[in-house]
Structure 1
Amino acid sequence: MILPIIYNWVIIILRTCFSTISVSYLPVWLTLDYVSDLMYMIDMIITLHTGYLAQGILVKDLILLRKRYLRSKHFCLDLASLLPSDFLYFAFGIQTPLVRINRLLRISRLNEALDRMETRTAYPNTFRITKLMIYIFVLIHWNTCLYFVLSSHIGFGSDQWVYPNITDPEFASMRRQYFHCFWFSAQILTTVGNVPHPEKVEEFLFMIADLLIAVLVFASVVGNVGNAITSLRDRDNVFFPNHELVKAYLRSHHVSKELRERVNNWYQHLYINKKIMRENEILQQLPLHMRTEIAVSVHLPTLSKVTIFQNCEKSLLEELVVKLTPQVFSPGEYVCRKGDVGHEMYIIKEGKLAVVADDGVTEFAVLSEGNFFGEISILNIKGNKSGNRRTANIRSIGFSDLFSLSKEDLTDVLSEFPVAKRHLEEKGRQILTKMGMLEETGETEDGETEKLETKIKRLESNLEGLQTKLARLMVELESSNHKIQARVAQLELEVSELETQLPEDDGERERELGRGQGVGGEAEWEREEEGADIEALQEVDAARQNLSVLHCVLLNLKSHHSITLFASVTVPEVLSASLKVFLGFKNH
């Protein structure tokens, strides 16, 4: 939508004021006019199908989109800009392009499109300056056209301020007319002021209006250019450390010239090669998952070349890349020295480093892109004679880009990935074995420690299982306790009722039997009664013994002091004994 809007803002006023240009290229202008109208219509259709966000959700329903667009002010402006005002050509003539002035109502769409492009471009400052220059060009163009119209109204060549007489062949061409007027307007609006002095009232009013506009244009240009320069400077300060402050610090403390030159070379290398040292500060406003994805896309090629990470799962790499810190070392600078306390490991992104002897001359090996070192001093390998000390001298041959990973970050990451941890420790043991820095008993002690830890974990697991079972048994015990108490109370009640009812029933049966059998039968009945009494007394004594045992069990269960008694006299046995007593009473 940018091109048709700019076309109408430039060409309509041009054809209106410069009639010669309008007549000379009339077929071209008419074709471009209706092409721009067609693009206006296409823009309305696209806008009608463009989704919008409602509570963070993209709305794509065509009915809702149509309803929202038709109720907006953009639809009113778009519709007004497409009204068929070209029919006025029949009234005013085909050479009157001013009838299409309603096409200028789309200016809000131009601002919206430019703002959207500014947020998407990779060079926002350059785009911002370009947009400002487009606005200034359109403003000078309109002033050019109005100056030519005013000169025509006053009279060409009537004084030095207006456009010269067009009857002069030198000033009669269309190209000369436009460029002369454009140059005149540019001088006014850029506050150059090298123009003839106005003589008439119309000329004074035009100059006053132009000078006021020129002040605004000048302020806008200065402000936007200043903002662009400030943004560029802030970008450099974010991407690269502040070199000026460091140089001032070195001068104030009288640092040696050699060291200052090394610092300057380091800064120059960063700036020329666009080395970014403050990635975390640049990306800190982004969500964590976005920072992780950016770090993976930027640093994954380097990590994939590291042997210990080649077969690792993606989640491990995502954890590592966020914690990597970029560092740049100058030529001849030591990354680490033998015997230093190790706090981080290094991964080479770019450059070459040499493993040198203590004399700094003899080179044992050369490390290049994808190699890593320093992991031995931060892994706490059992049997390492050097402990957490560096085991070699590493010196940068040229400018080297490295990633550093601190001991704390590596420990946190590897705690979630035991396979990678064992692989890294095994690599460290192999290196220590080759160097003769690994104690012989280290592996045995490590194995014994692992066995002991395994046993402890197994015992802890068994203890947790036993505690769970004990808790379950205690709950069952409490439930059984309540049930037994209720059952004992019921049995005691039934036994007491049977004890009171049994003698009365026996006496009635004796009297009835005596009446029927006479004297002989009475003696026999007495003997039977005595035998039944003895059996009943034995049953009652047995029931009382069982009840006493049951009471003892209940007391022990309540106090939880005698688990042995509970184990020897179980609840089913007590219940069966009580039921036997009850059934015995029933039989008697």
Structure 2
Amino acid sequence: MIFPIVYNWVIIILRTCFTAIALNYLPVWLTLDYLSDLMYITDMIVILHTGYLDQGILIKDLARLRKRYLHSKHFLRDLASLLPTDFLYFAFGIETPLVRINRLLRMPRLNEALDRMETRTSYPNTFRISKLMIYIFVLIHWNACLYFSLSNYIGFGSDRWVYPNVTNPEFASMRRQYFYCFWFSAQIFTTVGDTPLPNKEEEYLFMITDLLIAVLVFASIVGNVGNVITSLRDRDNVFFPNHELVKAYLRSHHISKELRQRIDNWYQHLHINKKIMRENEILQQLPVHMRTEIAVSVHLPTLSKVTIFQSCEKSLLEELVLKLTPQVFSPGEYVCKKGDVGHEMYIIKEGKLAVVADDGVTEFAVLSEGNFFGEISILNIKGNKSGNRRTANIRSIGYSDLFSLSKEDLTHVLAEFPAAKRHLEEKGRQILTKMGMLEESGEAAEGEAERVETKIQRLESNLEILQTKLARLMVELESSNRKMQARVEQLELEVAALETQPEGGDKGEGAQGREEGVGGEVEWEREEKKR
């Protein structure tokens, strides 16, 4: 829908103001007019069959689509833009294209189409600048047409401000007329100021209006260009590490010039070759399943080249690709050294690396794209003679792009895939056996370690049971102590009461009181037992 809408916005005003252009190319204009009308009708049919979302569900039922469109304000606007106003040619003449002014009502469809294109294009910033230039061109074009029409109204060549006299052969051609008016209008909107001063009131009003519009145009250009520059800067900050912060840190700590130069070269390599170091941060806003699909399409072929991961189930590889971390090594930089503890494995995406001796000069082999190393060290296989330490020195020959997979990430993923874990460990043992790096007693030691671990788990379980029983006994003991203390206090009170009675009292009453005391004590003991 971009072509017919832009055509009507440009050509209708052009034919209205430049009558010579309208009459000389009339067959062409009529053909394009009715071709754009046909495209308008086609657009309405497409809209009628375009689904929409209702509570997240895509509606495709034609009856519902027709009802929704026919009862919307968009249909009324589209219908008004297709009213057959061309019949007014019979009343006003064929040289009056302004009767088709209702075709401009489709402008919202143009904005909608451009917005959709902006979200789908791979270069949104370039598209925004192009869209802004189209709008500015249409604005200058309309102003140029109105300037020519005003010059015709005032009189060509009547003063220096209007268009020169068309009787002059130099300014008589249609091409010269349009280009001159467009240049004059562009000068006003760009506030260059190299335009003749107006002489009449109409000219002053025209200039005042144009200057006010020019302020808005200038502000719009500055704002849009500023947004594009900001977006580019933000994109670079997301894609690449912040070089300015690193340089400030290096200067403040007086790092050697040689090391600073190496770091600058590393950053330059990233920017020139568009090496993205923050893939996970860039894709963090996407849902997990989309991140997985992207990672699978980008990194799964690389991960599948690793021997120990071949024949593994696809779901495991899909989990692992999310854990791959890109790394870039500079020329002469060591990826790993002999004797280092292996915490990750590496897969070469691009570049060459050399397996060198301890002197750093002698090269035993050269690894290139698709090769990998360090895969055994992250499996923690029992009986490995190297003890998960690096067995060679690996140095980057030039700039090398590698993917690293850490031992922690692999362990975390394999915890959910016990069968795959046993499969990988078995393949790792086979590789170590071929290399002669697996101790024969390794498997026995591994079995013994498992038995010891089982015994420890059993002892820990028994210990928990005993601790529970001990806690219960402690509670019962504390309850018994409280009961005993209560009984002692009761007896002390009774003894004190007997001691305070008069000596001449009735012995029968004393005996009866003792019987009642003893009976009360027995009754109290019964109540305590019930409790």
Q: In structure 2, how many angstroms separate the alpha carbons of the residues matched to 1:356 and 1:171?
A: 79
What displacement does 1:355 show? 2.2
Which residue identity is paired with 1:188?
A: I
- Residue 149 of structure 1: aligned partner: 149
Looking at structure 1, the residues matched to 438 and 272 of structure 2 have their Cα atoms a distance apart, in angstroms, of 45
Choose 330-339 or 31-40, whichever is displaced more.
Answer: 330-339
Q: Where does 1:221-236 land on structure 2 (aligned, <5 Å)?
A: 221-236=221-236
Q: Secondary structure at the match of 1:251?
A: helix
Q: Which residue of 2 aligns with 1:521?
A: none
Counterpart of 1:259? 259
Partner SS, residue 58 of structure 2: strand
User: Aligned partners of 2:237, 2:74: CA distance in 1, in Å?
Assistant: 41
Query: CA 1:435–1:63 in 2, change beyond 3 Å: closer, same or farther?
Result: closer
Q: Is the 8 A contact 2:326 2:403 kept in 1?
A: yes
1:63-462 mapped onto 2 (5 Å cutoff): 63-429=63-429, 432=432, 437-449=437-449
Q: Which AA in structure 2 matches 1:116?
A: R
C-alpha separation between the residues in 2 aligned to 1:99 and 1:431?
Answer: 84
Cα offset, 1:425, TM superposition: 3.0
SS at match of 1:394: strand
The answer on whether the counterparts of 2:309 and 2:424 sit within 8 Å (CA) in structure 1 is no
Matched, 1:34 2:22: no
Deviation of 1:428 (Å): 4.0
Say whether the 8 Å CA contact 2:17–2:146 is kept in structure 1.
yes
Q: Which amino acid aligns with 2:134?
A: I
Please state how far the C-alpha of 1:271 moved relative to its aligned partner. 1.2
Deviation at 1:446? Answer: 2.4
8 Å contact 1:355–1:367 — kept in the other structure?
A: yes
Take 1:295 and 1:178, find their aligned partners in 2: how far apart are those partners? 54
State the Cα distance separating 1:304 from its structure 2 match.
2.2
In the aligned structure 1, how far is the partner of 2:340 from the partner of 2:257?
Answer: 28
| Partners of 1:237 and 1:169 in 2: CA distance | 58
| TM-score for both structures, normalised by structure 2 | 0.82
Letter in 1 for 2:347: I
- CA RMSD across the alignment: 2.2
Supply the distance in 2 between the matched residues of 1:41 and 1:58 (Cα, whole angstroms): 24
How many corresponding residue pairs?
A: 459
- How far is 1:449 from its partner? 4.9
Q: Which has the higher contact order (CA 8 A, sep 6+)?
A: 2
1:495-510 alignment runs, 5 A limit: none
The answer to whether the 8 Å contact 2:346/2:402 transfers is: yes
What SS is found at the alignment partner of 2:10? helix
Once residues 97 and 335 of structure 2 are traced to their aligned partners in structure 1, the CA distance between those partners, rounded to angstroms, is 74
Structure 1 contact 5–110 (Cα < 8 Å) conserved? yes
Distance 2:434 2:63 in 1: 75
SS of the aligned residue for 1:6 comes to: helix
345-354 or 202-211, which moves further after superposition?
Answer: 345-354
Contact 1:308–1:420 (Cα < 8 Å) also in 2: no
Question: Does the 8 A contact of 1:329 with 1:401 survive in 2?
Answer: yes
When you count helix as a share of all residues, which structure comes out higher?
A: 1
- TM-aligned CA distance change 1:454 to 1:192, over 3 Å: same
The secondary structure found in structure 2 opposite 1:354 is: strand
C-alpha separation in 1, matches of 2:247 and 2:224: 30
The CA deviation string for residues 203-248 of structure 1, in whole angstroms up to 9 with x for no partner, is 0000000000000000000110111111111111111111122222
Shift of 1:30: 0.7
- Aligned equivalents of 1:174 and 1:306: distance in 2? 70
Quickly say closer, same or farther: Cα 1:390–1:152, change in 2 above 3 A.
same
After superposition, give the CA deviation of every residue in 1:28-77 in whole Å (9 maximum; x if it has no partner).
Answer: 11111111111111111111111100000001111111111111111111
Query: What is the CA-CA distance between 1:5 and the residue it aligns to?
Result: 0.5
Structure 1 residue 258, shift from structure 2 partner: 1.4
CA–CA distance in 1 between the matches of 2:364 and 2:426? 22
Measure the CA separation in 1 of the matches of 2:309 and 2:357. Answer: 29
SS of the aligned residue for 2:364 comes to strand
CA contact (8 A) 1:350 1:368 kept: yes
Contact 2:344 2:407 in 1 (8 A): yes
Task: Give the distance between the partners of 2:370 and 2:129, measured in 1 at CA.
Answer: 42
On the 8 A contact 1:240/1:276 being kept in 2, the answer is yes
For 2:514, the equivalent position in structure 1 comes to none
SS at match of 2:195: coil
Note closer, same or farther for the CA distance 1:362–1:257 as it changes in structure 2 (3 Å cut).
same
2: CA distance, partners of 1:283 / 1:54 = 28
- The structure that has the greater radius of gyration is 1
**Residue matched to 2:20:** 20
Distance 1:424 1:400 in 2: 27
The question of whether the paired residues in 1 share the 8 Å contact of 2:308 and 2:428 is answered with no
1:124 is displaced (CA, Å) by 0.4
Deviation at 1:251, TM superposition (A): 2.2
CA distance in 2: counterparts of 1:444 and 1:341, whole angstroms: 24
Letter in 2 for 1:15: R
Distance, in Å, in 1 between the alignment partners of 2:204 and 2:47 is 46
Identity of aligned residues (%): 86
Q: State the shift of 1:89 in Å.
A: 0.7
Secondary structure in structure 2 of the residue aligned to 1:366: strand
What is the CA deviation profile of residues 268-324 of structure 1, one whole-angstrom value per residue up to 9, with x for unaligned ones? Answer: 111111111000110000000000000000112211222222222211110110011
| CA deviation vs aligned residue, 1:441-474 (integer Å, no higher than 9, x gap) | 22222245568889999x9xxxxxxxxxxxxxxx
CA distance in 2, matches of 1:382, 1:25: 88
Amino acid corresponding to residue 165 of structure 2 in structure 1: N
Amino acid in structure 1 at the alignment position of 2:217: V
Q: Quick check: 1:342–1:390 contact (8 Å CA) kept in 2?
A: yes
Alignment partners' CA distance in 2, 1:385 and 1:170: 94
Give the secondary-structure state (helix, strand or coil) at the position aligned to 1:404. Answer: strand
Distance 1:297 1:20 in 2: 59
Unaligned runs of 5+ in 1: 460-588
What is the SS of the residue equivalent to 1:378?
coil
Q: Which deviates more, 361-370 or 215-224?
A: 361-370
Aligned 8 A contact 2:330 2:398 in 1: yes
State the AA in 1 paired with 2:292.
T
Amino acid in the other structure paired with 2:100: R
1:429, 1:438 within 8 Å by CA — same for their partners in 2?
yes
